[in-house]
Amino acid sequence: MDLEEKLGILTDAAKYDVSCASSGVDRKGAIGGTGNSAACGICHSWTADGRCVSLLKLLYTNACVYDCAYCVNRRSNDVPRASFTPQEVAGLTMAFYRRNMIEGLFLSSAVAVSPDRTMERLIRVAEILRLRERFGGYIHMKVIPGASRGLVERLGYLADRVSVNIEFPTDQELALMAPDKTPEGIKSNMLTVRDRRLELLPTLYRGPKPPAFVPAGQSTQMILGAGDSDDREVLGRAESLYQTVGMKRVYYSAYVPVNLPPEEAVRARTPLLREHRVYQADWLMRFYGFEAREILGERRFLDQKVDPKIAWAVDNFHLFPLDVNTAPREMLLRVPGLGPRTVQRILAARRLAAISYDSLAKTGAVMKRARHFVTAFGRRPYPLTDDPERVYRALAGADTDACRQLSFLDAV
Amino acid sequence: MIDCVFDGSFNGLLTLVFDTWRIRDKVASVIQEPDAGSLLPQRFYYTQDNKASRVREYIDNRMGEEFAFLVKAAFLSSRPERFRAIVNTIHRACEMGPKALGLLEDDVLCFLDCHKEVTREAHRFQGLLRLREMADGSLLAVFAPRHHVLPLIMPHFADRFPGENLIIYDEGRHIAGLSEKGVVNLARVAGLQPQDSDGERELEELWRVFFSRLAIKERLNPRLQMQHMPRYTWKHLPEMRETP
């Protein structure tokens, strides 16, 4: 099998993994080496589905011994199989990197023979890149669930980010869908990474700097819509991962029914809108100071008509309207239509002079949403309703067009 | 109110900042070519390096590094109003310090927008720039940015490929950035006759295979793709070019 064919098969097999971030590490280029890394992350291209291409995302092999119900590469599927050699992966990475097509490598793998045997192959690739090629770009490696502690630690010194996919929000669902993986194995891998990272965290003390261990932190991924868990379980699990394991990112992936016969797959549509809302809620937890249970209120699923911030603001309408000239930062962040940047601008501007209602739009606030929730010195230019029900309807109406469920047909 | 005309250079602009300080309320526009359609009196400002360096020092010492960078980045913008926005913002900052950037005035907002557009495009091309290996082993990239982002991205690429000779050519402005083993220079170039090395075609083909296989057809969303990767960048991207 030639390289082009292998690349095709193993890209196809890797594409359902969402993560492609190259952020979190700042590393200068070294004389005699190739590559650096920017903390902000750099995207190099965008595929036809609008997802960014930052890393060379590949499976090392797709010949899997597991038989997970949701996975396209499971043992019982009849798909073309292929495997790279460590040299091939490293060679492709260097060639693409040198042409500025990628920021680095994101290597995952099906479980070949056993988790440990697979991990050894991945580590070999990382070693060739880091030690022989002196590659300074970004390396994201998957930890194969259930791999032994020693191997995870070896990988951690070579990679910038590692991830082990938790796949489902509840342990029962994981047992049902992925009978060969155990929740304990996944969690212990996560904790290994966390503990080592904490141990090696650079301190202010003098002396040699400790070696970098997974400097960009770890991430994970959950599948939405493959089982029947609700958003409460999804966000609850995500929140606990952020808090207990120090997860950098949790990715969510609307399930593409790869293992259903075509007739059924048409009905089981990929829940893209649900994925979108869950991501919005995730952002609220990470950057806006929300807790999962606040966002959901009494619901099991997020409101699909409006974004979760509007849903929360309508539920808590008694807290509004807020005066932009006096409200504290934490509360401004909770106003629909104001983001962290806008809030920062409001704070800087009101230190110099009072903000009038008319100049509010200049701070970057999206007035279409914010106008229902803010005043400037008690002023609003025209009477707005004080009925949360009507606010909800106004915003849901304005929102439907921008966020309707996308269909395969109208995209073409 | 007057129209201020200058030669378009950075030092020229700083000279203008110096010379218009006393009439800073009367600057209606700052332009490079005299505007025959304007009814306002036009005054020419000639570049004087000593005045420019006084302003530069003032900015470096009093406003801080960040503000100095904002000025440079805004200057690289291709918006016609950029000169006026820069002049007025520096004047405001001389009055009240760098916190003037928090003002919600049109010129300050325009100044910040210029900076934002330029740095955003520079960041975008850090990713979208494609290098090709030439027959002599050096690397070449050709691109056509809207703003003059070349000076901002050169250090990034020089740091990334410290051992290589690389050329980044801005097609629209006919300016090339050169990095020879990490040392950066900019030069005006009339044209290039690049000669690709042998393996280049096959490698591009591999990249196209990778790129096309990565898209999930259940999620197709060309509008989102276009939003991130606007059409004016496609010409220089092997993955977006039509197959010959």
DSSP 8-class letter at A406 = P
Tens-digit pLDDT profile for residues A260-319: 766 666 556 778 899 999 999 999 999 999 999 999 988 999 999 999 999 999 999 999
Q: Same structural domain for residues A57 and A132?
A: yes
Q: A197 and A64 share a domain?
A: yes
* Shortest alpha-carbon distance between residue B69 and chain A (Å): 18
Give the residues across from A167 on adjacent strands. Answer: A222
Give the torsion sign (CA, A382, A386, A389, A395): positive
Q: Which residues of B touch A53 (CB under 8 A)?
A: 211, 214
State the pLDDT at residue A21. Answer: 86
pLDDT at B27: 92
CA distances from A362 to A281, A373, A374, B110, B220 (A): 26, 17, 15, 11, 35
The whole-number average pLDDT for the span B39-66 is 94
Mean pLDDT within B102-111: 94
d(CA A70, CA A91): 32
Q: With beta carbons less than 8 A apart as the criterion, state whether A337 and A370 touch.
A: yes
Question: pTM, whole model, 2 decimals?
Answer: 0.89
By Cβ distance, the residue of A95, A272, A348 closest to B203 is: A95
Domain ranges of chain B: 2-121, 129-188, 200-236
Q: Is the pLDDT of residue B47 over 90?
A: yes
Tell which residue, A143, A101, A113, A110, has the closest CA to residue A126: A143
**Boundary (domain end) residue, out of A259, A293, A318:** A259
Question: Is A290 part of any domain?
Answer: no
The predicted-structure confidence for B154-176, as pLDDT tens digits, reads as follows: 999 999 999 899 999 999 999 99
Which member of B139, B206, B222 has the closest CB to residue A411?
B222
Same domain, A145 and A16: yes
With bands split at pLDDT 50, 70 and 90, how would you rate the model's confidence at B208? very high
Q: Are residues A215 and A350 in the same domain?
A: no
Spans in chain A with pLDDT lower than 70: 202-205, 261-268, 382-383, 398-412
Mean pLDDT of B11-27: 95
In this complex, is the C-beta atom of A268 within 8 Å of any C-beta atom belonging to chain B?
Answer: no
Determine, yes or no, domain membership for A296: no
**What phi and psi, each to the nearest 5 degrees, are found at residue A360?**
-60, -40
Mean pLDDT of chain B: 93
Residue A412, pLDDT score: 47
Residue of chain A nearest B132, judged by CA positions: A99
CATH number at residue A99: 3.20.20.70
Adjacency order of strands within the sheet including A218-224: A55-59, A104-108, A138-142, A161-163, A218-224, A249-254
Residue B243's pLDDT band (boundaries 50, 70, 90)?
Answer: low
**Interchain contact, A47 vs B215, CB within 8 Å:** yes
Alpha carbons A37 and A42: distance in angstroms, whole number: 9
What is the pLDDT, as a whole number, of residue A382?
67
Same domain, A147 and A224: yes
Domain presence at residue A159 = yes
Distance, CA of A404 to CA of A399 (rounded, Å): 8
| Interfacial A residues in 333-352 facing B (CB < 8 Å) | 345, 348-349, 351-352
Inside any domain, residue A236: yes
CA distance A351 to chain B (A): 8
Asked if A9 and A81 touch (Cβ cutoff 8 Å), the reply is yes
Q: Is the CB of B228 less than 8 angstroms away from the CB of A46?
A: yes
The count of domains in chain A is 2
Domain boundary residue among A259, A291, A321? A259
The answer to whether the Cβ–Cβ distance between B141 and A31 falls below 8 Å is: no
Residues A246 and A140 in one domain: yes
Contact A25, A37 (CB under 8 A): yes
Give the rounded distance of the alpha carbon of B101 from its chain centre. 21
* Rg value, chain A, Cα: 24
Q: A251 and A135, same structural domain? A: yes
Determine, yes or no, domain membership for A276: no
Residue A333's domain spans which residues? Answer: 308-400
**Mean pLDDT for the stretch of residues B59-85:** 95
Which of helix, strand or coil describes residue A174? helix
Beta-carbon contacts below 8 Å between A and B: 161
Residues 62-121 of A with CB under 8 A from B: 92, 95-96, 98-101, 103
Cβ within 8 Å, pair A50-B103: no
Q: Is residue A303 part of a domain?
A: no
ipTM of the assembly? 0.92
* One domain for residues A179 and A43: yes
- Inspect the interface and report whether the beta carbons of B206 and A11 lie closer than 8 Å: no
Handedness of CA A95, A97, A99, A102 (dihedral sign): positive
Do A239 and A367 belong together in one domain? Answer: no
Place of tokens 């691109």: B143
- A27, β-bridge pairs: A37
- Which residues from chain A sit within 8 angstroms of residue B221, using beta carbons? 48-50, 406, 411
